[in-house]
Chain A
Amino acid sequence: MMRFIWPFIIFIVLAAFLFVGLRLDPREVPSPLIGKPAPNFALEQLKTPGKQFSPAEMKGKVWLLNAWASWCVACEAEHPILMDLARMNVVPIYGLDYKDKREAALSVLAQRGDPYVLAVSDYDGRTGIDYGVYGVPETYLIDKQGVIRYKQIGPITAENLREKILPLIAELDKK
């Protein structure tokens, strides 16, 4: 009996590792930017070209930066949640229109509704690279000191909005 105990234990440990591995999403790469200052940029506003927006203007506010694009299918799925969040009026949402055409982005916002306080155009994707964007949608929660506190990879779901993002916003607002 004893001679089977060790192989059995090793089997159980291996099986446990593999089982956990099954449930991990390899597409979720933890961002090294969490806890770091949000990279600055100055990009043209989507609706008023010629006017720029920069995260430096947001000092003292908790805000969301949502990377999206008109060509992005998952963004379409995320859109109603962003609209709900905008209506809740708990956090300003800014859009980073990633590698998009201005007309296409504007027509999508006109069609589906615009959850953003304003959106900026990252035509060549350089700002996206600074933020470590590797697939839209991605959303960053930035605190009053301009530090990234949370990154959502892929669409925000009702569940992680309720369980992670909203509580974190409430906590950061108090500081």
Chain B
Amino acid sequence: MRSFILLLLLSFNGICMAGEARDLAKDPAIEKRMVSLAENLRCLVCQNESLASSHAELAEDLRREVRELIQKGMTDSEIKKYLVARYGDFVLYEPPLKSMTLMLWLGPFALLLAGLGVLAVQLRKRRESISDSVLSSEEQARVNALLNDKER
């Protein structure tokens, strides 16, 4: 029984692998470029997977498309433009810098600057609240007494 289950599991694994193996087209150079491109592209069906790793049918079709575009001699940026024209910036894992994405790119730095600003203001306030005060002679005598006491 146990070996049967093991066999079953192994055979399922084989099915999963088959989907991936089919993508290995004949030309390894084209395949390498396709994969490196697809790793930075988002699959629209399972949105947290890259186009390179997704098993969705659309991802398979898009990989085929990218492969063909490479064969046509298009550059990487032309291929990205081709996909963005159809699916929008959403396909790119690294969104371009434009007015819509300004917050996304500059937001963290703005927050950091704001934090540093608050810190600077707080530090200055604290420095102002600490003022040098002179000890009176009575206090000085007590300090000396305490210090001498300890030394002994």
Interface residues of A (CB under 8 A from B): 26-27, 29-33, 99, 124-126, 129-132, 134-135
- Of the candidate stretches B21-29, B31-39, B72-80, B84-92, the one touching chain A is B84-92
Are the CB atoms of A31 and B88 closer together than 8 Å? Answer: yes
Residue of A31, A32, A130 contacting most chain B CB atoms (<10 Å)? A32
Which positions 44-74 of chain B face chain A at CB distance < 8 Å?
A: 44-45, 47, 57-58, 61-62, 65
Neighbouring A residues of B58 by C-beta, 8 Å: 125, 134-135
A31 to B87, CA, bound (A): 6
Neighbouring A residues of B57 by C-beta, 8 Å: 99, 125
Neighbouring B residues of A134 by C-beta, 8 Å: 44-45, 58, 87
Are the CB atoms of A132 and B88 closer together than 8 Å? Answer: yes
Instruction: Known A26-B47, A134-B44; judge A129-B90 contact (CB<8 A).
Output: no
Are the CB atoms of B88 and A129 closer together than 8 Å? Answer: no
Candidates B45, B84, B86; contact of A131 at CB < 8 Å: B86
Neighbouring A residues of B47 by C-beta, 8 Å: 26-27
What is the interface residue range for chain B against chain A?
10 to 19
Neighbouring A residues of B89 by C-beta, 8 Å: 32
Please give the distance in Å from A67's CB to the nearest CB on chain B: 12
Neighbouring A residues of B61 by C-beta, 8 Å: 124-126, 129
Candidates A99, A124, A125, A129; contact of B86 at CB < 8 Å: A129
Please give the distance in Å from B2's CB to the nearest CB on chain A: 37
Are the CB atoms of A30 and B86 closer together than 8 Å? Answer: no
Please give the distance in Å from B7's CB to the nearest CB on chain A: 31
Are the CB atoms of B45 and A29 closer together than 8 Å? Answer: no
Candidates A27, A124, A126, A132; contact of B87 at CB < 8 Å: A132
Please give the distance in Å from B12's CB to the nearest CB on chain A: 22
Using CB atoms, name the residue of chain A closest to B68.
Answer: A126
A134 to B91, CA, bound (A): 11
A101 to B89, CA, bound (A): 32
